[in-house]
Each structure stands twice: as C-alpha cells, then as structure tokens.
Homo-oligomer: A and B are copies of this chain.
Amino acid sequence: MPPKQNNAAKHAIYDQIRSEIITGKKNPGERLSIDTLKNEFGTSVTPVRDALQMLSQEDLVTIKPRSGYYVTLVSLKELNDMLELREILELAAVERAAEKITDEQIEELKAVHAGFTNDNDETYSRYTQENIIFHYLVAKASGNDSLALHVRRLHDRLARFMIIIRSGSFMTDVHNRLIDRLIARDPAGAKRTLKKEMDEARTAIMDRIMREEAGSWHLGAGNAT
C-alpha cells in the first residue's frame, strides 16, 4: 500500500471506483463519466480526473482522449499473459516465504483465511477482497515488498475473472494446505500446492471464458464499443 495520503476527495473517489472495477460492479467497456461521478461525490471535476488518471496508470481504466474514460477491456491474450505472470511472481514469492515466514505472519494469514471461510452470507465482493489480501500476505512474507506489491496489483486486475473460481470449498482447502506447508517451512511443498491452485484457476478461467465469450473480442459483460 502506498504511503497514506490525507488527500480526502481524490482518494475516496479512487478507492470506490477501483473497488467497483475489481469486484466487477463496473463492467469492462463501461463508461466512467466525469460529470456523473462529480455529481455522485459532490465534488468538482479535478479530483475525479485525478482518480481516473491514477486508475488508468494501473491499467484498470482506459482513456480515450477528448472522448471518455472506460473500464479497461481485457483481451483473451492479455488475460492469459496476466495469469502466467501471476504464476511467475507468486511461485517466486512462496518459495521465499516458506523459508523466512515468521510465526506472527502465519497468525495473520490464518486470521484472514478464517475471515472469509466463515461468513458465507457475505457478498462475493468481500470474498474477492479477502482473497487478494491472502495472496498479498503470502507474497509479503517473502520479505520482498516490491514483489509483494506487484502481486497485489496484478491480483487487482485479475480479480474480476477470479469470481469464476469461487467454488466454495476448493479455495478454502487449498489455502489451508498452503498454510500447512508454510508452517512446515517447506518451500517445495508450498510451491507445489500454490502451483496446483493457480493452474486449476487458470484453466477454469480460460475454459469458461472461451466458452462464454467465444464470439466477442473482449472480455467482460459490457461489450461496449
């Protein structure tokens, strides 16, 4: 997380839009109108533009100059590339994490995991957020903050598609097993467990999307121009 900035308006707008994109409340291709947003938040255009500008730098928003701001459309290839990159980053991270994770970090991980194991009544958006945090904490335990940050940002962009994988117990089981391997300080085992999870997620996502969106060029609901 970047250093806390007491920059009220801009960050409130940024956080909300970001969260709405990540959790899929705003669909790819959907327009983000400055005018609408500024009314919604009761501000002027400046903080809205700032927020959208920031999001575009994270590839969550695409700017068509003098035309509009849109939730970024992801192509099939881009999605596949991101999933591959995810494996590279997270495998490197767990390997290191399993060697140097502290007991406190394990407790933190357990706490987060318990948090989204229990309450099934919660919305998927909450689940999505906590899944990101779980994987971020694992990456953080690698000791490499830069690596961890990249993992988190990538997860942000992938989150919309991860919803496909929300098959209840599967993820819970895998996360439990991963925690076990981390407690055992077993790099190879942790790597194997995580790789299995990521591979299954990847094929599930790609299969599902190839079937559902066979005709369209870009992913997501909107199908906007």
Contact = CB atoms under 8 A, between A and B. Distances in A.
Interface string A123-146: 000000000000000000000111
Contact of A50 (B3, B7, B49, B146): B49
B84 A147 contact: yes
A78 interface: yes
Query: Which of A3, A56, A82, A146 has most chain B Cβ within 10 Å?
Result: A146
Contact of A65 (B7, B54, B84): B7
Interface string A51-86: 001101110001101000000000001100110110
Given A5-B65, A7-B65, A53-B50, A88 B81 contact: no
Contacts of A3: 62
Interface residues of A, number: 28
Contact of A146 (B5, B58, B78): B78
Nearest to A143: B81
B144 A81 contact: yes
Interface string A168-182: 000000000000000
A89 interface: yes
A43 to B, nearest CB: 15
B5 A85 contact: no
A147 B6 contact: no
A92 interface: yes
A18 B92 CA distance: 30
A141 B166 CA distance: 34
A150 interface: yes
Contact of A6 (B7, B49, B65, B92): B65
A81 B5 contact: no
14 contacts: A7-B65, A53-B57, A54-B54, A54-B56, A78-B146, A81-B144, A82-B146, A85-B144, A85-B146, A88-B88, A88-B89, A88-B92, A88-B147, A150-B150
What are the 4 A-B residue pairs with the smallest beta carbon separation, nearest first?
A57-B57, A81-B146, A88-B92, A7-B65
